Amino acid sequence: MFTKKNKKTPAEILDIYKIPREKHSISRKDIDENALKVLYRLHNAGFRALLVGGGVRDLLLGIKPKDFDITTNATPEEVKDLFRNCRLIGRRFRLAHILFGREVIEVATFRGHHDDDDGQDAQKVKQSKGGMLLRDNVYGSLEEDAERRDFTVNALYYDIADFAIYDFCNGMQDLAERKLTLIGDPEVRYREDPVRMMRAIRFAAKLNLTISDSCAEPIRRLAPLLQDIPAARHFDEVIKLLLSGQGLATYRLLKEYKLLQVLFPILFKDGEDDKANAIIEQALIDTDARIAQGKRVTPAYVYAIMLWYPLEQRAQEMSFESGMEYHDAFLLAMNEVLSIQVKTIAIPKRFTAAIRDIWILQLRLPRFGGKRAQRVHQHIKFRAAFDFLSLRAKVERSKELAELTAWWQEYQTHNKLPEHSYSYKTTNKAIEKKPEAAKPYKKRRYSGSKRTATAVSSDD
């Protein structure tokens, strides 16, 4: 029996998990100025205010954090009252966003434990039959908040009151061992929110952490649960996965853990395809390099590449089955492939339009007679389509595509039709020559197409 004397006060309990300032490496100067403003405003208004998640984790790993997440005992409404530049978002998980120009600081109220969805928390919590959390808005204490987070390394808190770190879930040790461990029972936590499986892959790739055995084991088995996640949420998550600078490593892990096949059901549906794999890997290597150089990347390009070979195969099948012109079959296949894909990942219209453009330009690039070259070149997606073409040439080891790439390269360099375009007589030697001597490109003959390959010399 506890006597009143040896019963610990909440403050004493918190002390057990506290790492004082002098025993950790996080300094205020590493923290984003706007995040500090938010932390201090909450603190000065009498609320608890702590940095949590990637901000703390990455600083401890010596990495520049992508963003700074804050947690507090203030309710979202109380946060809103404190900040003019605040808007409340989310139904499933209610949050405050504090806006500083383009920067957003996310403030979440401590989450707490809840009874089942028939109990008094029914308004605030909703769970599906399979255990998936559809709503999670029961508020609680700091310690409870830690237990509701996903991985131990994401449940470290930096307290603005005394600059100490709180570690309730052994996150510091896992960080030191570079181990990714879910808090609680892995299967229950994945069922509650299957996106945690994707997050496991993302953090493993991004931070070079090893997924602990108990957290790795259920992933392949539970991968189909990703189908239950709203397609709109998947769009954001997939961007974080593939367009955050570690796209290649992430892609390989997604494939290994069978999540890729759920997210992209038409990719590799008849088993892994070397050509598709090679082009995706190369595109992600290029994308990672662009991100490292601070260049812009677009999801449309990556999606166009990921779905290209399934699209080509489908177009050929359709053309073969119905006797349709390849070009027409290609347009139909494009619709089919995209309509299947958006069921799992809700790609916004502006991106599907760009994907279509990049694909259609693959058919237009070989047909550059007369004014066509100029029109194709002026197309807003020309550059993406050209990069795509050169990747195809590389992956397919195709002389024909290599010549076409060289032709367009020369066109771009001189911004005019290569002079030899219409005078060249077809010989195989052309490909060994420098671009200025390259032969005019012939319209590609796609298998399954009824069209014959003819040198393009007519105007539009």
Instruction: List residues with catalytic annotation.
Output: 67, 69, 150
Residue 168 per-residue DSSP state: S
In contact, 76 and 95? CB cutoff 8 Å: yes
From the list 122-130, 189-197, 221-229, 421-429, the region that binds ligand ATP by CB under 6 A is: 189-197
In contact, 164 and 264? CB cutoff 8 Å: no
d(CA 154, CA 175): 10
d(CA 384, CA 308): 14
Q: Least distance in Å: CB of 6 to ligand ATP?
A: 33
Q: Which of Mg ion, ligand ATP, none has residue 112 at its interface (CB below 5 to 8 Å by kind)?
A: none
In contact, 308 and 359? CB cutoff 8 Å: yes
Residues in the chain: 460
Q: Per CB under 5 A, does 69 bind Mg ion?
A: yes
From the list 188-196, 293-301, 415-423, 433-441, the region that binds ligand ATP by CB under 6 A is: 188-196
Count of residues that interact with Mg ion, criterion CB under 5 A: 4
From the list 150-158, 269-277, 378-386, 415-423, the region that binds ligand ATP by CB under 6 A is: 150-158
User: In the set 114, 137, 150, 305, which binds ligand ATP (CB under 6 A)?
Assistant: 150
| Subset of residues 49 to 68 that bind ligand ATP, contact rule: CB under 6 A | 52-54, 66-67
**Burial class, 231, CB count within 10 angstroms (exposed 0-12 / middle 13-18 / buried 19+):** middle
Task: Tell me the C-alpha to C-alpha distance, in Å, between residue 162 and each of 40, 104, 172, 221, 428.
Answer: 12, 25, 19, 44, 75
From the list 21-29, 192-200, 309-317, 331-339, the region that binds ligand ATP by CB under 6 A is: 192-200
Q: Per CB under 6 A, does 416 bind ligand ATP?
A: no
Q: Per CB under 6 A, does 160 bind ligand ATP?
A: no
Q: Per CB under 6 A, does 245 bind ligand ATP?
A: no
Count of residues that interact with ligand ATP, criterion CB under 6 A: 13
Going by C-alpha positions, the residue among 73, 184, 193, 195 that lies closest to residue 135 is 193
Element (H, E) at 408: helix 399-414
Tell me, what amino acid is at 83? F
Q: Per CB under 6 A, does 357 bind ligand ATP?
A: no
Q: Per CB under 6 A, does 109 bind ligand ATP?
A: no
HSE-up (13 A, CA, CB side) for residue 78: 15
User: In the set 49, 50, 98, 195, which binds ligand ATP (CB under 6 A)?
Assistant: 195
Q: Can you give the binding site for Mg ion, defined by CB under 5 A?
A: 53-54, 67, 69
Q: Can you give the binding site for ligand ATP, defined by CB under 6 A?
A: 52-54, 66-67, 69, 149-150, 154-155, 193, 195-196
